[in-house]
Chains A and B, each alone.
Chain A
Amino acid sequence: MRKVAVIGAGMTKFRHRMLETGRELSFEASRAALDSARMDIKNVDSVVLGSAPDAFDGLHMKGEYLLDGAGGSGKPYTRVYVGGGTGVFIPAAAWWHVASGVSDVVLAVGEEKMSPLQPHPQYAFWSIFDQFLERPLGVTLLWIFSLEMRRYMSVYGIKEEDIALVAVKNKGNAMDHPSAQLPMRITVDDVMKSEPICTPVKRLDVSPTSDGAAALVLASEDVARKYTDDPVWITGVGWNVDTTFWTNRDLCYPEYVEKAAMMAYKMAGISNPRKEIDFAEVYDPFDYKELHHMEGLQLAKRGEAPKMTREGITQRDGDLPINPSGGLLGVGNPIAAAGVMKVAELFWQLRGEAGRRQVKKPVHRGLAQAWGDLMQVGTVVIMER
């Protein structure tokens, strides 16, 4: 396998509703990524794009709809999809294009425009549930996260206040992100007093719905060295999907995230992730998910991620900064774009270009992770400089 570098990254603002069409958002992010790589579309061999459920836009063949805006017309072009896990799967798929020798330069684009569906984007998720056993009960996506959060709290004896600390941290971190949709200085009390949605999930435990796009430029080693003295390498990728019978799994622990992480750790030669990963962008559509995923990623022992959070270890100036970007809770959650944003944050942090968001300790190796479908997929990318 060939070495694969990331040499550029770009993104739009993330906002609840935007004027730009999905194509226009894709273009803005792609153009910014190419500019930062000092490249033009003619340098790009192939394009990988990801976008989550077609139901948000009501456009089937959404990959084809977005094609021009992602710079893919007339090129080998692939749309990938693993629900919420898509964002981190996009660079993984782009990686195999380069690692295999199929392409030297790949543009990797994540786009989401959730706002078109009325009265609320949440309604799109109706169509992902089992039509015989679950839809007749009036199921919503919020139910299943609430059920998972409750199970996690119940098995390990975790309090809602401990989980709220994640929302406080991430929304606070987002104060320093130029694209952020929901930067906020809030307290645990604010989270606890926010409107209940599906207990134990409250309004401030949840990331917003968003429009936005983000993009990366991946290149082979020889090309990367021509364009930059400072490439960041993708040294591990992993993905894993568990059964769709989500009510047959123990919801307190994401085994599929562990398996995806192990695949990536093996590739990157990592045996002790807690010591060898300097910082991580962990998928946080809900605050408890950050903790859940830290445990699946072996960055915390089972049930102990809340303790690390309480002790400040996951703050930007802590020993293991988690979501220095502000995450989905703070920057926003245009699904596929949000995952790419996390990988872009690794790129910027590793190059020391994160400005006010730059973590305090020197960082050489970071991990980004996403999660999705019916709480069943884990996607992981490890990057080093």
Chain B
Amino acid sequence: MTESFQRVGLRRAMRSQEIIIALVIVVLSAVITAINPAFLSLSNVFDIVRLATVSGILALGVLLVLISGGVDVSFPAIADTAVFIGATILVAAHFNGSGIVLYLVALPFGIFMGLINGFFISRFRVPTLIVTLGTSSLYYGAELYFFGGVSIFKLPSGTVDLSNASLLTVRTASGVGTASLNPSVLILLALAVVISLVLNKTTLGRSIYALGDNRAVAERSGVRVARVQYFVYGLVGALAAVAGVTNASLYRNANPISLQGTELAVIAAVVLGGTLITGGKGTVTGTLLGVLLICIVENSLVLVGVPTTWQNVAVGVVLLIGTTVPAIRALRRRRLVGGV
């Protein structure tokens, strides 16, 4: 009885965090639009969506890890390394066809690197942050040592075509030039649906929540922890590879360190979306809202007229507000419960 009671409360709390972030997005958008109406133009929305696509795919992986009670900082290394190895292979093979092939070639490398994380985490029970700090350095180091550090701009023509593809092309607000909606956003949306289904509709998904909530209880109730961890980290590797290939396709460049340093912003976006850093709680919707909020902040400074040097400060402020508000509410709730 109490358990279902708690779960209802938890779900309500998650929902309310999503509503808060959505409200913040609405208010922020209104303020930016008041300063520069170009913000709400379709062309600018397309630019923000493009920016959010790669972070969004990475964030889905981070969501899985955080729910399971871990922290992964190696996903940028996996993303960059998987696509760089994939591109190196395709260039060596003089492949010049479909853009999907780079995804197919990079994917196994991403999964493999994710499984290496899973191995150390489940086998030796080393803290996830420590393992992934180590493997992050290992993956980047091995990539630069064995494959060199020179960006690959000569990508297959199909990959280059992906960056030019458009679902919808519109004129910009000012009437000068056009803007197009890149189809890569469909990859993000499809993956979001799949991850959401896995988390909510499968036993495996519920096991991930259970593991993050309380490992001992999960073990006692029959969750095979090692198997769940292999699944989570392997899937994170796969998502990272997809994000890496999408990133390379969008900018027509397999840069060996393109995403280096993005891990904290992505983790922050996921936490902003209401995911508990200690595990057991988080939603796909909240995660996507968190990513959207960060991308709006990052992509609007020039429009508003704030120097781009302030980007980190602006993102930091949003994060502090976005994460302290729920914490304060949680404290107040606890005090209320204590009073009763």
Indicate whether A and B interact. Answer: no
B binding-site residues for A, Cβ under 8 Å: none
A binding-site residues for B, Cβ under 8 Å: none
